Structure 1
């Protein structure tokens, strides 16, 4: 039996190993190509759907394995005709569309390196990444082309009808020759335009390593109708929303354009999606729309990543979507390491838990001296890799049953008058208040206590001193008498990374700048 035939947690622990993982692929440990695994081997002339795209304007775009395979092969031949060599970088700044997928897979077919870039980058953010990866070509749309052409040293190509016409004269098949350890993708993590996150460099072999996270983090199996609304410019949308399902021959879905929760829910209904993996923010926006009851859903498996989901949103998921939301935890740098095994009938999903390690991995919550933390005690989350413990730069705690819980980034701890407080716990408590739509908490300097918690609140209710006092008391009553935001600011929106996470560092930087100016 193949790993995809097993769904139980116990089976994952017994049968999941490297040999079984490789048996899911056509290639081997010497020769492997992501485009071949995800598209080429599933293009059988049947017209079977590979990708469904829900556009923000209300239209749907349906792409088959056959169409993407033919377009990718033509694009690969076109790249070769334009002098592109194996190892050259091909950047593309495109929303999900036929040009996006043929650029992604066509570049990898030739042995070139695909570099997906977020479509909302301005000039500074785009220039930083282009200067870093030095692409031979930058493929984008007509809207972004004027910005891209301001960057010297890169040829800009507009992915329009003219380009599709130009590549149409090339053959619809392409023989891949890449080795498993050849570079395939440069992936930039989300961050500010002033601070360039390092590109994470993935080989073609990464598609195999990724599959553990797909099988046990999103629970993908043949027969699923899958959807991931995260942008494929980021790790979750690319690896878990695009490459993993396609490699298994599973139809996937995605969102293109400015995100709208109601448009998403209509697509989930129309496409009869049974398995969705999304960011915590997507679920929260579905809840905040207050229109979820207008739609009929077919969910059997749900997963989320990026940040913990607050209890109010978890309650909404249970009440409205009727399927437990399974967290999966990881980073672009280390991959997914903690999962909740969606679809496993013998696995209990604990609300708010990051889950348990994927098969074969060892994680531990440690004290500052490197010894294991006791159950329920917050410490640094460490991963055993390369015969040593490596930090994830996150805080966590583990319970008596071996479930891990996120406690924020290491720099999200607030120490006030000797008390240690978690920004995440305070945020989650504030989000239980019926008038609070979004909340972010940081530590700010205090002459007496060293630090105190400051909350930034998005709310439809008008600010007032009485409302501030109410929120403070609401938090104290639910956490402890010392653990509450002593300062509260009402804002129209919270700063977020391009991937949709609340960007607490921006808030900390603003507070620091304001303190200097005052």
Structure 2
């Protein structure tokens, strides 16, 4: 689609305008609605959802979701919900999620998606922060996490309340109206709300198209939750606006079931998949006689080790393409592997700047660094530099490479150590299930590398020595963990990112 307009990446980078992405939708700046663009214009299959808890597969048509979403919009009108008021959708991917999410946006209210895995504290924080009028929740919802001012509607009650309402609705929103509030996953601290407008659809759909060159024959699948921006905008909305069926798992991630889903539903496109999930899918695929084959794959959320990238291509037939953005920088994707004819994706790279983005590596004072030097990834915009908290470098061909979070980088004996690299080395060891690495103060070294380890083995001193020697041989004597602690569970977000801030808090509590 969009990539076919250009013969090369350089031509696109020089000439592409994001105004071109308006061709994706039928609306304009005065009249635009995500629900209308993603549902009303299409027919056939809208979504496949595999519930991993109940082991059931559901298929939903565009027409049935459109009609029920219109009923939900009418329900909000009936309840007196005003344009711009918040509606929390505390559901995993399901018929009820699709109906209430799209119905909220159609009506002009603002959807706040929150997956069911959130505990009471996580939900209470989001409810207090977003101040919703209504919340759609599962049957077993803990009503104490909602203020008494919030009307809580369970999925069973929702079905009853929609009965008899009109299945048509005329949306009255424009491009600038707020449509969705997503919260960051809390990798580095308190989750932060990010508001997205109706026109955000155009950017995210266009961005994914530049990476993947969507086709009307595509069938998509993501492992990411709709409670996270990548799962919602990349996994759900970007495919649907092109009429491409979206595939989801609902419930705990199961790599074997994910691969069966891909095979049974002729999925050819993996989109917004996190590398941690891909690693588990690789492990499951290695036990299969014939893993399912795909044509295109896109990952996000964290860097992918080159070794894992090669394994994905070897087993599934597609080299995974990166997409990188940072909420603290611009809130949008700025680096990616792209689908232009001459673009060469490289295993483990973050790709190159998307058209319209001036991305560079800078030092702490904002000075641009030459190729090969580690600094912070930044974007130059009209009002100045926007700095990420991610460390990286560029190579001589203009590709960007991650070196972990800048605020997580460990300075030890004059060496700059990326914790992600140490984790990747540790997790190659067969006795390590999950690892989390931080730097802790050390009088002699400045900081020393400390690793927290999940293992099914006995956490012995012998195993500590074995792991230290393993990393020393894999990475070098300056990067191995001088200290190792075995714990039951390495803290991670819903998207399986290591929460190093919690590891640092754990270390401080033990000191």
Task: Calculate the TM-score normalised by the size of structure 2.
Answer: 0.93
Mapping of 1:12-27 within 5 angstroms?
Answer: 12-13=12-13, 16-27=16-27
The aligned counterpart of 1:62 is: 59
| Residue matched to 1:136 | 133
Shift of the alpha carbon at 1:95?
1.1
CA distance in 2, matches of 1:147, 1:272: 43
Change in 2 beyond 3 A, CA 1:307/1:407:
same
Q: Which residue of 1 aligns with 2:279?
A: 284
Contact 2:372 2:394 in 1 (8 A): yes
Cα deviation, 1:461-488, whole Å, max 9, x if unaligned, reads: 5444443333323323333332221112
SS state at 1:293 partner: coil
Q: Which of 211, 219, 223 is 1:229 aligned to?
A: 223
**Residue range with higher mean Cα deviation, 306-315 or 93-102:** 306-315
Q: Which runs of 5+ in 2 are unaligned?
A: none
Counterpart for residue 189 of structure 1: 184
Equivalent residues of 2:22, 2:28 under 8 A apart: yes
Change (3 A) 1:196 1:490: closer
Q: Secondary structure at the match of 2:484?
A: strand
**Which residue does 2:35 correspond to in 1?**
35
Task: Quote the offset at 1:311 in angstroms.
Answer: 4.1
Contact 1:207 1:244 in 2 (8 A): yes
1:88-127 correspondence to structure 2 within 5 Å:
88-127=85-124
| Aligned 8 A contact 2:89 2:114 in 1 | yes
Partner of 1:468: 464
Deviations 1:36-90 (A, max 9, x none): 11111225xxxx0011111102211111110110001011111101111111111
Structure 2 match to 1:297: 292
1:1-53: CA deviation from partner (whole Å, max 9, x where unpaired):
x526558653644663223211111111222111111111225xxxx001111
Aligned length: 506
* Range with bigger deviation, 96-105 or 428-437: 428-437
CA distance in 2, matches of 1:456, 1:290: 28
Q: CA deviation at 1:329?
A: 0.7
Q: 1:198 Cα deviation (Å)?
A: 2.4
Q: Distance in 1 between matches of 2:277 and 2:167?
A: 37
Q: CA deviation at 1:109?
A: 0.9
Q: What corresponds to 2:158 in structure 1?
A: 163
Q: In 2, are the aligned partners of 1:310 and 1:431 still within 8 Å (CA)? A: no
Counterpart CA distance in 2 for 1:54 and 1:107 is 24
- Distance, in Å, in 1 between the alignment partners of 2:275 and 2:142 is 32
Q: CA contact under 8 A between 1:272 and 1:298: conserved in structure 2?
A: no
Q: Which is further off, 398-407 or 205-214?
A: 205-214
The CA deviation at 1:387 is: 3.4
Alignment partners' CA distance in 2, 1:173 and 1:288: 47
Query: Larger deviation: 86-95 or 479-488?
Result: 479-488
Deviation at 1:312, TM superposition (A): 4.3
Matched, 1:373 2:369: yes
- 1:145 Cα deviation (Å)? 4.7
User: How far apart are residue 285 of structure 1 and its match?
Assistant: 1.7
Distance apart, 1:93 and its partner CA: 0.3
1:3 counterpart residue number: 2
Cα distance between partner residues in 2 of 1:12 and 1:147: 52
Instruction: Return 425-434 or 492-501, whichever deviates more.
Output: 425-434
Give the distance between the partners of 2:108 and 2:203, measured in 1 at CA. Answer: 19
- Cα deviation for residue 147 of structure 1 reads 4.5
Deviates more, 1:496-505 or 1:469-478: 469-478
- TM-score normalized by structure 1? 0.92
Q: Shift of the alpha carbon at 1:164?
A: 2.0
Displacement of 1:380 = 0.7
Name 1:82's counterpart in structure 2. Answer: 79
Instruction: State whether residues 376 and 389 of structure 2, in contact with CA within 8 Å, keep that contact through their aligned partners in structure 1.
Output: yes
* Closer/same/farther in 2, CA of residues 181 and 78 from structure 1, 3 Å limit: same
Which residues in structure 2 correspond to 1:284-363 (within 5 Å)? 284-289=279-284, 292-294=287-289, 296-332=291-327, 334-341=331-338, 343-363=339-359
In structure 1, the residue matched to 2:207 is: 213
Q: Distance in 1 between matches of 2:305 and 2:457?
A: 20
Shift of 1:435: 3.8
1:269 corresponds in structure 2 to 263
Q: 1:506 to 1:219 in 2, by over 3 A?
A: farther
CA distance in structure 2 between the aligned counterparts of 1:105 and 1:70, rounded to whole angstroms: 11
- Please name the residue that 1:384 is paired with: 380
For the Cα contact (< 8 Å) 1:365–1:379, is it kept in 2?
yes
Q: How big is the shift at 1:125?
A: 1.4
